[in-house]
Amino acid sequence: MRPKFFYGYVILALCFANMIVMRGVNGAFGVYYLALLEEFSWSRSDGATVASANFFVYAIASPLVGLAFDRFGPRLLMPLGALLVGGGLVISSFASSLWELYVSYGIITALGQGALSFVGHNALISFWFVRRRATAIGIASMGQGVGDGAADSVADRSSRLALDLCRHRKSAAARLGAGERAVPAARSTGRRTVSRW
């Protein structure tokens, strides 16, 4: 007779994967930080206070997450946290001012990060593992190291790509705008223009 599959291993794998993503979300801000300063011409202190607000809200949310975990459980808390992180990051991508980034990344994303933090993972893993609880928590926490290394390199590459696309988009719009101004001028002089594109 084969032993039954232990579902705690699935929970452990999901916690490990979630820690990779959460550490990536936290660590990637340092990569995007310079791109944000360059794009919006903010001072370094303005940009850094966004990350500080995120860390502060995350810290304040942790005890509240413990209370919510005890009251509502992981089935409600973890999907809600994922929704907050995802929504906050999407809203952050449309931010055009500093206060919008404070709200989206500094508050919304941080509340989601709090819901998907050590508190929730440790409590969830403790439900499933009794004899090897510390080992299981250690394996799930190992996702942070993996996430830190992997996410920063992905964020660095995507940040460079986004900046290049943004620069090309702006220069293409400038060329297009110059071309639109040149066409009426060429029509008025009767010359034929040849496009290089």
In a domain, 2, yes or no: no
Sign of the CA dihedral 38, 100, 84, 23? positive
| pLDDT at res. 185 | 42
Domain at 13, CATH number: 1.20.1250.20
In a domain, 137, yes or no: yes
In a domain, 3, yes or no: no
How many Cα atoms sit within 13 Å of 177 on the Cβ side? 6
In a domain, 61, yes or no: yes
| pLDDT at res. 165 | 55
In a domain, 1, yes or no: no
Number of domains in the chain: 1
In a domain, 127, yes or no: yes
Containing structural domain, residue 85: 8-189
Report the distance separating Cα 46 and Cα 69, nearest Å: 34
In a domain, 104, yes or no: yes
In a domain, 50, yes or no: yes
Low-confidence ranges of the chain (pLDDT < 50): 168-197
CB neighbourhood size of 131 (10 A): 7
| pLDDT single digits (tens) 98-124 | 899 999 999 999 999 988 888 888 889
| pLDDT at res. 157 | 66
Instruction: Assign 147 to helix, strand or coil.
Output: helix
| pLDDT at res. 95 | 84
pTM of the model: 0.73
